[in-house]
Amino acid sequence: MSNLSSIQLLKKLVAFDTTSYKSNLELIMFVKNLLESAGISITLNFNPEQTKANLLASIGPKDQAGILLSGHTDVVPVEGQAWSTEPFHAVIKDDKIFGRGTADMKGFIACAIQAMLKAAQMPELAKPLHLCLSYDEEIGCIGVRGILGLLSELIIQPELCVIGEPTSMNIATGHKGKAVFKAICRGQEGHSALAPLYVNAIYCAQNVVEAITTTQKQIAEGPIVDMDYDVPYTTVHVGKIQGGKALNIVPNECVLDYEIRNVAEQDTESVQAKIFEYIEQSPYAKFVSFQEINQYPGLNTSTTIQAVKFLQNLLDPATALQKISFGTEGGLFHQQLNSAVLVCGPGSIQVAHKPDEYIEISQMQQCDAFFERLLSHIKR
């Protein structure tokens, strides 16, 4: 077994540059070797290009429902960010560990690996403990989809899945779903001196923006709200627009990227329908086409189920329940396995995706302590 502490292990994990557009295989092979040397069985699941992999590690009785821990191995890019430390070389300063992915979410992964290694030392487990590590979460929960189908073949439906995204070790029972689209506006190229004779793709895109902002206004007026969220309703947002080549050419193409983040009570289709309805009424309707880029479901775990009480007891019975503003793979896990899914992990989302991302050492300790209690629960 490894003699590394969770913090030493976190430093090793940070040193693998697993930015989403790069391979995560070195990290995956490192974890695989570490766990296999402790006698834990591993399944890898590769992407079609064989450049990235999901990992599933399991220990304990195969015929029992257990606990599944889940985390993503990829991190967001550091390019263009002003870091005061080397992002892929974790350093400890003022009781914090700085480095890309420390909070989101290699801190959790390090503690979870330690928990697996400790479980391997225990004489016998009453229930299995599983660890699932995915790739390409940051670009739309892409990678984990490859292993979800396999999971239901390999393991008994877990009693509980813990997604270790940074919640400062609070329990999140829900988050919004998300769907990402492109609106492609096609106009007609022409000399700008004759502009009124042609269809301007940017004007067409402007109509799509109006459709989106009008839809947002309608949704904000209700009645579908979930007051557990900072923004208590479904949001629609345009994040990128690209069109035009030169001032003296009527643009023939303009592309918009937009997203819908929906509360559980409102599906993205009904929001799309509102956007379409607005556009249908304009002369630009026939010049726009839509493409769905990706989507993941929201998470809406009931706060009254046994799994919530169970997790609260392993943390601190007074641990507050919350809903989080960011998405996770939790909705997909729930959809595939129909297990109770909760989000709970060390570190704060406030520092994630930013330069000088860090995790407090006390958060790592809290997470280690949580796993200690989890292990005493699953020992026979």
Using CA atoms of 77, 79, 84, 86 in order, give the dihedral in degrees to the nearest 10: 70
CB of 285 to Zn ion, least distance (A): 38
CB of 313 to Zn ion, least distance (A): 26
> Does 104 participate in binding Zn ion (rule CB under 5 A)?
yes
Q: How far apart are CA 308 and CA 208, in angstroms?
A: 42
User: How many residues does the structure list for the chain?
Assistant: 380
Which is nearer to Zn ion, 90 or 275 (by Cβ)?
Answer: 90
Are 13 and 27 a contacting pair, CB within 8 Å?
Answer: yes
Q: Which stretch binds Zn ion (CB under 5 A): 24-32, 39-47, 52-60, 158-166?
A: 158-166
Binding mask 36-75 for Zn ion (x = CB under 5 A): ----------------------------------------
Which is nearer to Zn ion, 165 or 368 (by Cβ)?
Answer: 165
Task: For tokens 């799509």, name the residue.
Answer: 208
CB of 105 to Zn ion, least distance (A): 5
Q: Count the site residues for Zn ion by CB under 5 A.
A: 3
CB of 133 to Zn ion, least distance (A): 12
CA distances from 165 to 17, 73, 97, 106, 299 (A): 19, 11, 17, 9, 13
Cβ-closest residue to Zn ion? 104
> Does 136 participate in binding Zn ion (rule CB under 5 A)?
no
Of 159, 150, 145, the residue nearest 329 (C-alpha): 145
Q: What is the CA radius of gyration of the chain?
A: 23
Which is nearer to Zn ion, 76 or 209 (by Cβ)?
Answer: 76
CB of 228 to Zn ion, least distance (A): 20
CB of 164 to Zn ion, least distance (A): 9
Q: Which stretch binds Zn ion (CB under 5 A): 110-118, 159-167, 261-269, 343-351?
A: 159-167
Q: How far apart are CA 136 and CA 49, in angstroms?
A: 13
User: Which tokens belong to 321?
Assistant: 């329940």
Which is nearer to Zn ion, 105 or 184 (by Cβ)?
Answer: 105
Q: Which stretch binds Zn ion (CB under 5 A): 34-42, 97-105, 167-175, 265-273?
A: 97-105
Q: Which of residues 244-303 bind Zn ion (CB under 5 A)?
A: none
Q: Which stretch binds Zn ion (CB under 5 A): 139-147, 161-169, 255-263, 295-303?
A: 161-169
Of 340, 333, 343, the residue nearest 150 (C-alpha): 333
Q: Which stretch binds Zn ion (CB under 5 A): 81-89, 96-104, 258-266, 332-340?
A: 96-104
Cα-to-chain-centroid distance, residue 110: 18
Sheet containing 96-98: give its strands across.
91-93, 96-98, 358-360
Q: Which stretch binds Zn ion (CB under 5 A): 15-23, 160-168, 193-201, 369-377?
A: 160-168
| DSSP assignments along 286-298, one per residue | GGEEEEEEEEE--
Which is nearer to Zn ion, 137 or 226 (by Cβ)?
Answer: 137
Using CA atoms of 305, 307, 311, 313 in order, give the dihedral in degrees to the nearest 10: 70
CB of 122 to Zn ion, least distance (A): 29
Which residues are CB-neighbours of 18 under 8 A, at least 6 positions away?
Answer: 24, 27, 73, 74, 75, 101, 135
CB of 299 to Zn ion, least distance (A): 14
Which is nearer to Zn ion, 137 or 360 (by Cβ)?
Answer: 137
Residues that bind Zn ion (CB under 5 A): 104-105, 165
